[in-house]
Amino acid sequence: MQRTEISTLGEFGLIKHLTESIEIKNPETKYGVGDDCAVLSYSDDKEVLVTTDLLMEGVHFDLTYLPLKHLGYKSAMVNLSDIYAMGGIPKQITVSLALSKRFCIEDMEDFYDGLRLACDAHGVDIVGGDTTSSRTGLAISITAIGEVEKGKAIYRNGAKETDLICVSGDLGGAYMGFQLLEREKEVYYQQIESAKSDAERMAIEQPDFSGREYLLERQMKPEARRDIILALRKAGIQPTSMMDISDGLSSELLHICTQSKCGCRVYEDRIPIDYQTAVMAEEMNMNLTTCALNGGEDYELLFTVPIADHEKVEQLEGVKLIGHITKPELGCALITRDGAEFELKAQGWNPLK
Amino acid sequence: MQRTEISTLGEFGLIKHLTESIEIKNPETKYGVGDDCAVLSYSDDKEVLVTTDLLMEGVHFDLTYLPLKHLGYKSAMVNLSDIYAMGGIPKQITVSLALSKRFCIEDMEDFYDGLRLACDAHGVDIVGGDTTSSRTGLAISITAIGEVEKGKAIYRNGAKETDLICVSGDLGGAYMGFQLLEREKEVYYQQIESAKSDAERMAIEQPDFSGREYLLERQMKPEARRDIILALRKAGIQPTSMMDISDGLSSELLHICTQSKCGCRVYEDRIPIDYQTAVMAEEMNMNLTTCALNGGEDYELLFTVPIADHEKVEQLEGVKLIGHITKPELGCALITRDGAEFELKAQGWNPLK
């Protein structure tokens, strides 16, 4: 594989190389990469949504199993997901990268390929690209910008007693994909260590992931739920609160309940879980409900709707009712299959703990 | 000094602690920190400007001499400067921090103190705050958002033949401040190394910076030139191109000339330089013009105006005419005091070289 040192292009040359073929798709984008700022134009009847994320190598991603193209895709997707989580439509992103010396131009091309794939799928313009150096590892900062009709942004604080709690897709898959990849990485390192010759090292086989493709996809290629936002609009449903599930269902539900000053009841048997997730949890001897409640990175949407929308929301494909909002005094409870009640706790991933 | 571990608050607790007393100042800010996105509202007659920067410890800043409060101030300022460089007014910033374990809550309070000082001085709302962990060092990502009247954004590509080249403030000061701090750091390390006892180490004196305060201020507390933008508007001057000087005058002039497809002539004796900068360059045996042309981080504004605005621009306080735009065939030239002509080269700071 070719490896061209980044110093052959320099900072400005690299940005130009990575961004020069970008075509602007949205009328809201007046000017993209290449000046001190991007220039955007949003009409009066819209509100502008802005979200930003900083991803650090060794904390948020592991390049031993996540190819740079997937990393580019995922980095964009997690930010687009935040725009959808407000009920909005993303229009632009800016990207800043800090690179250590071990990265070459081809690496950055791979990263940008993934980034552009995600942006193209969601009609998003890349309007800012910035690269600099890092003393260790890779740091990625992405800002996503989008729009929502004035007054229609969906916050975390609008849930009301008797509202129905809904979730898109299924949960726990990204977390089980992570567990699977971590296990295979461990196995690989052990094989490398015990190999007695180069020939033996060369003979180490790639892990067999057949039957687990869905879990890998959930972890390595998450999809922001634009389709759900469009379906909600089409059905005329305005959710009272919404978040995307990045840290785990429990953690996000507690955010909504705290900010909305309410309680909730969620039913274990209603939580959507894929078959592969269940098999993997069994194999790893992990509690499936715990994985689905606390596993992060699914980037599904969690939202509440007025009970009057019950029938409308039941007809939405890929959306499941998992419980309802209660008075704050009742707390946040999980009702298990056998009718027992447990207090929901946020055990989601906390990078600062 | 008190040191409280960040883990005592956790990620959400830390963000809340740092941002809960923030008051929103701008009507354009509908919702700040605390949801998936910030929600902004810009009127139809405005364009929205967005710029983002990623600053890495050991590459962009050195905490051995830059206190965290100054770092917070400077991090905000360099981004606000990019909004002014489009002729706009900044309104919001978002801040993401990645911290290694050696930072405590009090450190982050210091950083935010500086950040808020800068934002308050420029009427800017902090609308997004995000903290995560880093395996080594500190990474800071700031996105600034602002507005400019529709059609009035000042790009790099609008300079025309015969336009006058103007610069605000003076140049080279931040670079000489950097040289001074680096020299004193070296001296300090040598003293530490040669000290034979704790007593001797304790007796090492702080460097005496008297008479060099301006250089330190230029390096550690740069000021984005809001005043110049307001003065230009008041005088009814619409520059044809503009940039802020972060990488050095030569480098920025070449950007304007390349993007505007023109050449330039800049006069050495017109380049504004402070007395302290000159004294320091002399003391360090460095060529003063080289420092002023290639030293970065001054965050002054470089802009071009039509020759018809000559009289108006000459009356602006703190703005100096340093040359004019020419046909592209003539290239980019510096005319020295003795009339010799040299080709301008970008020798500015390049973090990827």
For strand B89-99 and strand B125-133, is the pairing parallel, antiparallel, or unpaired? parallel
Kindly provide the b/e burial profile for residues B58-81, where b requires at least 16 CB atoms within 10 angstroms of the residue's own CB: ebbbebebbebbbbbbbbbbbbbb
Give yes or no: residues A47 and A117 share one domain: yes
Q: How far is B86 from chain A (nearest CA, A)?
A: 7
Torsion angle of C-alpha atoms B255, B257, B258, B263, degrees rounded to 10: -140
Q: Which of B50, B148, B244 sits opposite A128 (nearest CB)?
A: B50
Are B307 and B239 in contact by the 8 Å Cβ rule? The answer is no
Indicate whether A201 and A287 sit together in one domain.
no
DSSP structural state of residue B152? -
CB contact under 8 A, B131 and A36: no
Task: Say how many C-beta atoms besides its own lie within 10 A of residue B337's C-beta.
Answer: 9
Asked if residue A103 belongs to a domain, the reply is yes
Residue B350 pLDDT > 60: no
Choose among A276, A231, A279, A265: nearest CA to A343: A265
Q: What is the mean pLDDT of chain A?
A: 94
Residue B71 forms part of a structural domain: yes
Of A30, A36, A134, the CB nearest to B59: A134
Give the closest residue to A38 by CA, choosing from B97, B54, B88: B88
Evaluate if residue A190 carries a pLDDT over 60: yes
The answer on pLDDT for B67 being more than 80 is: yes
State whether B140 and B255 are in the same domain. Answer: no
Residue type, A324: H
Contact B133 A352 (CB under 8 A): yes
Give the pLDDT band of residue B353 (cuts 50, 70, 90): very low
φ/ψ (deg, to 5) at B224? -70, 140
Residues A133, A26 share a domain: yes
* Nearest to A142, CA basis, from A112, A175, A121, A174: A112
Residues B170 and B303 occupy one common structural domain: yes
Among the partner-chain residues A42, A88, A353, the one whose CB lies closest to the CB of B10 is A353
How far is Cα A140 from Cα A73, in angstroms, rounded to an integer? Answer: 12
Amino acid symbol at A302:
L
Q: Using CB atoms, which residue from B10, B35, B139 is nearest to A54?
A: B139
Q: Is B53–A153 a contact, with Cβ atoms under 8 angstroms apart?
A: no
Q: Is the pLDDT of residue A351 over 70?
A: no
A275/chain B closest Cα distance in angstroms: 30
Q: What is the DSSP letter of B100?
A: -
Whether the per-residue pLDDT at B99 is higher than 70: the answer is yes
Of the candidates B47, B134, B139, the beta carbon closest to that of A39 is on B47
In a domain, A351, yes or no: no
Distance from B35 to chain A by nearest Cα, in Å? 6
User: Tokens in use for A21?
Assistant: 């073929």
Q: Per residue in B218-255, is it b (16+ CB within 10 Å) or e — as a string?
A: bbbbbbbbbebbebbeeeebebbbbbbbbbbbbbbbbb
Tokens 């449903």 correspond to A237
A295 and A168 in a single domain? The answer is: yes
Please determine, for residue B103, whether its predicted confidence score (pLDDT) is greater than 70: yes
pLDDT at A348 over 70: no
For residue range A87-97, list pLDDT tens digits in order.
999 999 999 99
- Say whether pLDDT at B321 is over 80: yes
Q: How many domains does chain A have?
A: 3
Residues 6+ apart with CB under 8 A from B208: none
DSSP letter (8 states) at residue A25: -
| Residues B145 and B221 occupy one common structural domain | no
Mean pLDDT, to the nearest integer, of B49-64?
95
Task: Report how far residue B2's alpha carbon sits from residue A115's, in angstroms, rounded to the nearest whole number.
Answer: 43
Per cent of chain A over pLDDT 90 is 82
Strand partners, B145: B50, B92
Kindly state whether residue B1 falls inside one of the protein's structural domains. no
Q: Which residues pair with A267 in a beta bridge?
A: A335
More confident site: A83 or B204: A83
pTM (predicted TM-score):
0.94
Average pLDDT of the segment spanning A17-41: 92
B332 and B264 Cβ atoms separated by less than 8 Å: yes
Output the pLDDT for position A198. Answer: 86
Contact (CB<8Å) B34/A156: yes
Instruction: Let me know whether B91 and B169 are in one domain.
Output: no
Cα-Cα end-to-end distance for chain A: 39
How many whole angstroms separate alpha carbon B141 and alpha carbon B76?
A: 10
Give the C-alpha separation, B262 to B328, whole Å.
4
B137 and B169 assigned to the same domain = no
pLDDT for the residue A214: 97
Task: Tell me if A155 is assigned to some domain.
Answer: no
Residues of A in contact with B7 (CB under 8 A): 352-353
User: CA nearest B58 in A: which residue?
Assistant: A135
The yes-or-no verdict on residue A353 having pLDDT over 70 is no
- C-alpha atoms less than 13 angstroms from C-alpha of B289 in its C-beta half-sphere: 13
Contact present, B208 and B269 (Cβ < 8 Å): no
Interface test with B, best of A6, A28, A37 (most B CBs within 10 A): A37
Residue A211 has pLDDT above 80, yes or no: yes
Q: What is the pLDDT of residues A1-15, one digit of tens each?
A: 788 998 888 877 888
* Host domain of residue B44: 8-149
Give the rounded distance of the alpha carbon of A217 from its chain centre.
Answer: 12
pLDDT of residue A345: 85
Instruction: Evaluate whether residue A1 is within a structural domain.
Output: no
* A256 or B194, which is more confident: A256
Q: Within its chain, how far is the Cα of A218 from the centroid?
A: 9
Mean of pLDDT values over B262-278: 97
**Structure token digits, residue A152:** 């229609």
- Mutation target to probe the A interface, by most A beta carbons within 10 A, among B49, B256, B352 is B352
Residue A154 reports pLDDT greater than 70: yes
d(CA A299, CA A250): 14
Pairing of strands B46-56, B125-133: unpaired
Q: What is the CATH number of the domain that holds A61?
A: 3.30.1330.10
Tell me: pLDDT of A266 over 50: yes
In a domain, residue A120? The reply is yes
Determine contact, residues B255/B156, Cβ cutoff 8 Å: yes
**Local confidence band at A346 (pLDDT 50, 70, 90 cut-offs):** confident
- Subunit contact B135:A58, Cβ cutoff 8 A: yes
In a domain? residue B190: no
Q: What is the DSSP letter of B252?
A: H
How far apart are the C-alpha atoms of A23 and A30, rounded to whole Å? 12
CA nearest A219: which of A122, A348, A346, A74?
Answer: A74
Instruction: Name the average pLDDT for chain B.
Output: 94
Confidence (pLDDT) at B198: 86
Contact B243 A136 (CB under 8 A): no
Chain A positions touching B101 (Cβ under 8 A) are none
> What is the rounded CA–CA span in Å between residue A48 and residue B347?
39
Rounded mean pLDDT, B156-179: 97
> What per-residue confidence (pLDDT) applies to B348?
55
Selecting from A130, A157, A352 the residue whose C-beta is nearest the C-beta of B131 gives: A352
Residues B169 and B112 in one domain: no
Q: Which chain A residues have a beta carbon less than 8 Å from that of B48?
A: 39-42, 48
Q: State the pLDDT at residue A340.
A: 95
A207, A292: one domain? no
CATH number at residue A325: 3.90.650.10
